[in-house]
Structure 1
Amino acid sequence: MTDPIPYISIDMIENGFKPGIGYYWSDNFSKELYIKLSQMGLICVSNNFCYIGDILLPEMQEAYAVLHFNNLHISKKVKRLLKLEYKLIINQDLDSFLPLLKLHHGSESWFTKSYIHLMYNLKDLTLYRDNFQLNTVIMSFYKCGIYHP
């Protein structure tokens, strides 16, 4: 039997709690909590549980949250993709990003209704004013003159 996933709150963080490796959960989809979790290095996804509803699942995951350039491995698949013509788009265009995410992941996405609402609430924050900025990243490949998102 596995241990239950610990709950995390903004009060815990403000009182000095330091998360370790692994998942946490919260039913708080506030901008304040999400920003504090992000600034601590936690990556958040969400899920819907039938008896609880939407929950936030922050995770401290060093394997993909920290990039060690001296140990960087680029897979053969990525190397092949990088040989194609591509366009990397970094912006805050959630209206373009979310349909592409749904197209790619289908209904298996971590973007629950509460998470999407939170992303729209975070969209207008700026790095200079709020010490936080939400960005979307889309890589598009061009093959045989046809655009493939």
Structure 2
Amino acid sequence: MEKKNVVYFLTLDDIKDENILYNQIYANEKSNFYVSNDLSKDFYIHQALYGFISTSATIEDEFYLVPEIQFEYAILDFENLHISKKVKKLLDKNEFEFRINTNLSLVLDNISKFHKTNWLEPQYKELILSLKDYTHPNIDFKIFSVELYDKNTKELIAGEIGYKINSTYTSLTGFSSNNKNYNNWGKLQLVLLSFYLEKENFSFWNLGHPYMQYKFDLGAITYSRKDFLKRWLEKALL
């Protein structure tokens, strides 16, 4: 691997090389971020398969994917799901419509509007959209758009993008309306997604970085990289 601006440049060959992957990437406890200019579907799916979670960045006017093999991960096992009283009230009111994969473009647009400065750059959006209906010949990978609508107005209130790999689901990024009328709808979307994943027999939910309190409020537990990979690779590499 070529060292570039303190982080390593990552190629598809690097990911497919078990010696590099296990002994130089997984075992490297000082590095977590990598960069790549490979925007192919195959690269993106393989980096996701092996436990990286990719964001993106523009460096010196050039766009890069930024795959991260995290030091720690937040994992939700569905039996640990916690539902707050406020979310229970929203569930009882039943004024929402929960959908999966009906309008990826709308979810992406709302994420960009909600996060004024974010890593979801146009090239990344294009890559996600190109993966929407793509079927990899060897890997069970699928992009997800998770959508929560107001049943009465049909407005999209909260949502996220992520992906499934075999029986695992990984969250990438999401949004929730700032309108006070929709307080706790973001948490409602998470709970409904958990219901869906459990019903569809997913093994667990990878929530990514374990630095946000809402993930622990939901019932997630922190896993070290080593412990995460032990669980992850058993399910992802079926």
**TM-score, with normalisation over the residues of structure 2?**
0.49
Which among 67, 84, 94 is matched to residue 76 of structure 2? 67
Alignment match, 2:178: none
Alignment match, 1:83: 89
Alpha carbons 1:92, 1:123 under 8 Å: kept: no
Q: Structure 1: give runs of 5+ residues left out of the alignment.
A: none
Cα gap change, 1:69/1:135 in structure 2, threshold over 3 Å: closer, same or farther? closer
Alignment match, 1:13: 15
Alignment match, 2:165: none
Which among 49, 53, 64 is matched to residue 55 of structure 1? 64
Q: Does 1:39 align with 2:49?
A: yes
Of Structure 1 and Structure 2, which has the larger fraction of its residues in strand? 2
Cα gap change, 1:82/1:46 in structure 2, threshold over 3 Å: closer, same or farther? farther
**TM-score, with normalisation over the residues of structure 1?**
0.73
Q: Matches of residues 95-134 of structure 1 in structure 2 within 5 Å?
A: 95-106=105-116, 108-126=117-135, 130-134=139-143
- Post-superposition shift, 1:60? 2.4
Q: Distance in 1 between matches of 2:83 and 2:73?
A: 15
CA RMSD in angstroms, aligned pairs only? 2.9
Give deviations 1:59-79, integer Å, cap 9, x for gaps. 223423x33557x57596xx5
Q: How many residues align?
A: 139
Alpha carbons 1:92, 1:134 under 8 Å: kept: no
- SS of 1:118's equivalent? helix
- Post-superposition shift, 1:89? 2.3
Tell me the amino acid that sits aligned with residue 16 of structure 2: E
Cα gap change, 1:33/1:82 in structure 2, threshold over 3 Å: closer, same or farther? farther
Identity rate, percent: 26
Q: Distance in 2 between matches of 1:68 and 1:27?
A: 34
